Amino acid sequence: MKAGTHGLRARHVVAIALLAATAAPWRDASAQVACAVSTPPVGQTRTCTVTRTGTLVLPALAQVSLNRGSTNIAGGGTATEAIFLAAGDTGIVVVGPIVRATANRGVSVTLVNAPSFSGPATKPASDVALGVSPAIGVCAGVPTTPLSTSSVAAQQAAPRVLLQSTVSLRNVDRQLCFRVRWFYATNPPGAYSLPLTVSVTAP
């Protein structure tokens, strides 16, 4: 028996500006905005000085992106019988998308997921385990834990953390790694999808 292609589609917040960018115009730092020098006597020098200060208000900014919008978690173009058997035993390891974060202050990148797949039969999200690796393209040996089966609203109260930093960062990448289990008895052929939402917040 061969299973059809099963795709996990990822929805993501591409960018979040935490505050609207506001830039104050150049303004005076002194009440004196102009001065004049009368013609000095021969041999004497007179000086006139005006002081101005430029100011800029820089907002808190944070951005998160994924290098692709969906991941095929069938272990290939089409799940073969060998892949299907392995998936039901220990699960197949699938290299997922790369999460990239940039921020000018400390941030937290988090994930929430739908509690179950949409498809021809009910399949809980816990059949997929997720791990995060700092080594891009490397998922072998990465610890994983099952995705939540709680409602999205419940997960949002305490989302899964993918990346957290107390300082600013620029183009910091993390590799998402999936371990997926499929079962002959309960997963009939067809297309399955599981929405994921990745967000960035700054305290």
Mean pLDDT of 13-21: 32
Task: Record the tokens describing residue 194, joined without a space.
Answer: 């599981």
pLDDT tens per residue, range 83-109:
777 676 778 888 999 999 999 999 999
Give residue 77's pLDDT. Answer: 59
* Sign of CA pseudo-dihedral 12, 172, 92, 147: negative
pLDDT tens per residue, range 119-152:
999 999 999 999 999 999 999 899 999 999 999 9
Please give the backbone phi and psi of residue 83, each rounded to the nearest 5 degrees, phi first: -65, -45
Residue ranges of domains in the chain? 7-19+60-201
For the ranges 53-67, 68-82, 125-139, the lowest mean pLDDT is seen at 68-82
> DSSP of 28-49, one letter per residue?
ESSS------PPPPTT------
Give residue 32's pLDDT. Answer: 60
* Sign of CA pseudo-dihedral 182, 77, 115, 176: positive
Give residue 74's pLDDT. Answer: 64
> Model confidence at 76, in pLDDT bands (50, 70, 90)?
low
Q: What is the DSSP letter of 127?
A: G
| Pairwise pLDDT comparison (100 vs 1), residue with the higher score | 100
State whether CATH 3.30.420 applies to domain 7-19+60-201: no
Task: Record the tokens describing residue 13, joined without a space.
Answer: 């917040």
What is the chain's length? Answer: 203
pLDDT tens per residue, range 28-40:
444 566 777 777 7
Task: Return the exposure string of 59-76: e unless at least 16 CB atoms fall within 10 Å of the residue's CB, then b.
Answer: eebbbbbbeeeebbbbbe
Give residue 78's pLDDT. Answer: 62
CB within 8 Å of 47: residues ≥ 6 apart: 37
Please give the backbone phi and psi of residue 81, each rounded to the nearest 5 degrees, phi first: -65, -40
Give residue 170's pLDDT. Answer: 92
pLDDT tens per residue, range 153-203:
999 999 999 999 999 999 999 999 999 888 888 888 888 999 999 999 887
